[in-house]
Amino acid sequence: MSSPTQRTLIELRKRGYPLVDVTEKWIPGANIRRDLYGFIDVLAVSPLGKVLGVQCTSGDHVAERVDKITNSDAIHVLRLAGWSIAVWGWRKNAKGRYVLREVELA
């Protein structure tokens, strides 16, 4: 089984983003995960200069992630810098295939 992050990396590459990287890091000792700017799990850059920050999650947690990002101070600065921000929620459909729900925030 693949994680939402792994599925997101694959999908971004299919969409033409040659530079994609996981920005979520494990902090040893503190036993926590830290996202870039508190909400970006994956950063993608296109040859056309588009920068997309993605919060990856399961389909059940999309609304929670949207609220978290919307209330973040960093989102305003990233929008001014021209970045796009999205929440990508993955869930299985009735046929057992993963389906992506995308919510664009910037």
Nearest to 45 by CA among 23, 63, 61: 23
What gap in Å lies between CA 28 and CA 73, rounded to an integer?
Answer: 26
pLDDT of residue 90: 97
Judged by DSSP in three states, 73 sits in coil
What gap in Å lies between CA 7 and CA 56, rounded to an integer?
Answer: 9
Q: Spell out, as residue ranges, where the chain has pLDDT lower than 50.
A: none
Nearest to 104 by CA among 90, 83, 81: 83
pTM of the model: 0.92
**Number of domains the chain contains:** 1
CA 32 to the chain's CA centroid: 18
Enclosing domain of residue 22? 4-104
Q: What is the CATH number of the domain that holds 93?
A: 3.40.1350
Residue 78's CB is within 10 A of a number of other CB atoms, namely 20
pLDDT of residue 1: 60
pLDDT of residue 2: 85
